[in-house]
Amino acid sequence: MSKKEEGFTLVEVLIASAILAIALIPMLSVLNINLKWMTHTKDMRVAANLARLEMEKVKSLNCKEDEIESAVYEKTVNKTVWKIEREADSSTDPVEIWINIYKKDATKPSVTLFTLKENLTWP
Amino acid sequence: MAVKKSIAGITLIEMLLAISIFSVISVAIYSVFRSGIKIYRVTQKNLKLQENLDKIVNTVVSDLQQCRQMLKLAPSEVSFWDSKGQKITYTLADNIIYRNGIAVLEEGCLKADIKFVYFSQGNPVDNYGENLNKKQRDGITLIEFIISITDGSQSLEISSAVNIRLSD
Q: Cα–Cα distance between A118 and A96 in angstroms, integer?
A: 9
Please report the DSSP string for chain B in residue order: -PPPS--SS--HHHHHHHHHHHHHHHHHHHHHHHHHHHHHHHHHHHHHHHHHHHHHHHHHHHHHHTEEEEEEEETTEEEEEETTS-EEEEEEETTEEEETTEES---TT-EEEEEEEEE-TTSS--S--TT--PPBPTTEEEEEEEEEEEETTEEEEEEEEEEEE---
Write out pLDDT tens, residues B147-160: 999 988 888 999 89
Percent of chain A residues past pLDDT 90, beyond the cut: 28
B28–A21 C-beta distance less than 8 A: yes
Task: Check residues A119 and B75 and name the one with the higher pLDDT.
Answer: B75
Task: Mark out chain B residues that contact chain A at CB-CB < 8 A.
Answer: 6, 17, 21, 25, 28, 32, 35-36, 39-40, 42-43, 46-47, 50, 53-54, 57, 119, 128, 130-132, 134-138, 140, 142, 144, 146, 156-163
**A94: pLDDT strictly greater than 50:** yes
A78–B157 C-beta distance less than 8 A: yes
Over the range B62-73, which residues count as b (16 or more CB within 10 Å of their CB) and which as e?
A: ebbeebeebeeb
Q: Cα–Cα distance between A72 and A86 in angstroms, integer?
A: 6
Contacts of A67 in chain B (CB under 8 A): 134
Q: Which residues pair with A111 in a beta bridge?
A: A101
CATH code, residues A10-117:
3.30.1300
Nearest C-alpha in B relative to A51 = B160
CA angle A114, A116, A120 (to 5 degrees): 150
**B165: pLDDT strictly greater than 60:** yes
Q: What is the average pLDDT across B3-32? A: 84
Q: What letter does residue A107 receive in the DSSP assignment? A: S
> What interface predicted TM-score (ipTM) does this complex get?
0.74
B128 contacts A57 by C-beta, under 8 angstroms = yes
Q: Which helix (H) or strand (E) segment is A33 a member of?
A: helix A10-59
Write out pLDDT tens, residues A5-29: 677 887 888 899 889 888 888 887 8
pLDDT at residue B126 in the model: 46
Q: How confident is the model at residue A3 (pLDDT cuts 50, 70, 90)?
A: low
Write out pLDDT tens, residues B82-140: 889 999 999 998 888 999 999 888 776 788 888 888 776 655 454 555 545 566 677 77
Q: Cα–Cα distance between A123 and A115 in angstroms, integer?
A: 22
Q: Cα–Cα distance between B22 and B41 in angstroms, integer?
A: 29
**A64: pLDDT strictly greater than 90:** no
Q: How confident is the model at residue A4 (pLDDT cuts 50, 70, 90)?
A: low
Which of A88, A87, A85, A78 lies closest to A106, judged by CA?
A: A85
Q: Which helix (H) or strand (E) segment is A32 a member of?
A: helix A10-59
Q: What is the average pLDDT across B144-149? A: 90
- Please give the order of strands across the beta sheet that includes B154-165: B111-119, B140-151, B154-165
Contacts of B53 in chain A (CB under 8 A): 45
Nearest Cα of chain A lies from the Cα of B15 at a distance, in angstroms, of: 12
**A123: pLDDT strictly greater than 70:** no
